[in-house]
Amino acid sequence: MADYKVGKLINEGKTKKIYNLLNDPTLCLLESKDRITAGDGAKSHDLEGKATISTSTTVKVFRLLNQAGVKTAYVKPAGPKCFIAKKCNMIPIEWVTRRQATGSFLKRHPGVPEGYRFNPPLQETFYKDDANHDPQWSDEQIITADFIMGGVKITKDEVDIMKRITLVVFEILERAWAVRNSALIDMKIEFGVDSDGEILVADIIDSDSWRLWPSGDKKLMKDKQVYRDLSNVTQQNLETVKRNFKWVEEQLDYIIEAPSPLVVIFMGSPSDKAFCQEIAKHATALGLKPQLRVCSAHKGTLETLNIVAEYEGSGENVVLIAVAGRSNGLGPVLSGNTVLPVINCPPLRSDNIERSIWSSLDVPSGLGCTTVIYPEAAAFAAAQIHAMHNHLVWAHLRVKQLDNFLSLKRGDSKLRKS
DSSP for 152-219? EE--HHHHHHHHHHHHHHHHHHHHHHHTTTEEEEEEEEEEEE-TTS-EEEES--STTSEEEEETT-GG
Please indicate, yes or no, whether residues 134 and 280 belong to a single structural domain of this protein. no
330 in a structural domain: yes
Other beta carbons within 10 Å of 253 = 10
Please indicate, yes or no, whether residues 183 and 286 belong to a single structural domain of this protein. no
At residue 286, the pLDDT reads 97
CATH code (residue 322): 3.40.50.1970
In the DSSP assignment, the letter for residue 271 is G
Q: How confident is the model at residue 264 (pLDDT cuts 50, 70, 90)?
A: very high
Please indicate, yes or no, whether residues 251 and 270 belong to a single structural domain of this protein. no
H or E segment and range at residue 241: helix 235-255
Task: Decide which of 201, 223, 255 is a domain's last residue.
Answer: 255
Q: How confident is the model at residue 2 (pLDDT cuts 50, 70, 90)?
A: low
Sign of the dihedral defined by the CA atoms of residues 163, 168, 170, 171, in that order: positive
- From the CA atom positions of the chain, what is the Rg in Å? 25
Above 80 in pLDDT, residue 41?
no
Distance in angstroms (rounded) separating the CA atoms of residues 130 and 135: 9
CATH code (residue 187): 3.30.470.20
Q: At what angle do helices 273-285 and 375-386 cross, to 10 degrees?
A: 40
CB–CB of 73/88 below 8 Å? yes
Which tens digits make up the pLDDT trace of 268-294?
A: 999 999 999 999 999 999 999 999 999
Phi/psi for 136 (5° steps) reads -70, 135
At residue 331, the pLDDT reads 93
Phi/psi for 131 (5° steps) reads -60, -30
Please indicate, yes or no, whether residues 246 and 278 belong to a single structural domain of this protein. no
Which tens digits make up the pLDDT trace of 156-198?
A: 999 999 999 999 999 999 999 999 999 999 999 999 999 999 9
**Cα dist. 167→133, 139, 206 in Å?**
24, 15, 17
Which tens digits make up the pLDDT trace of 101-141?
A: 999 999 999 999 999 999 999 999 999 998 899 999 999 99
CATH code (residue 37): 3.30.200.20
Helix, strand, coil percentages (3-state) for the chain, rounded to 5, are 40, 25, 35
Which of 343, 346, 347, 345 lies closest to 369 in space, CA to CA? 343
Range of the domain at 72: 6-83
Pairing of strands 93-100, 117-127: antiparallel
Other beta carbons within 10 Å of 89 = 18
Please indicate, yes or no, whether residues 96 and 59 belong to a single structural domain of this protein. no
Which of 207, 194, 289, 277 lies closest to 246 in space, CA to CA? 207
Total domains in the fold of the chain: 3
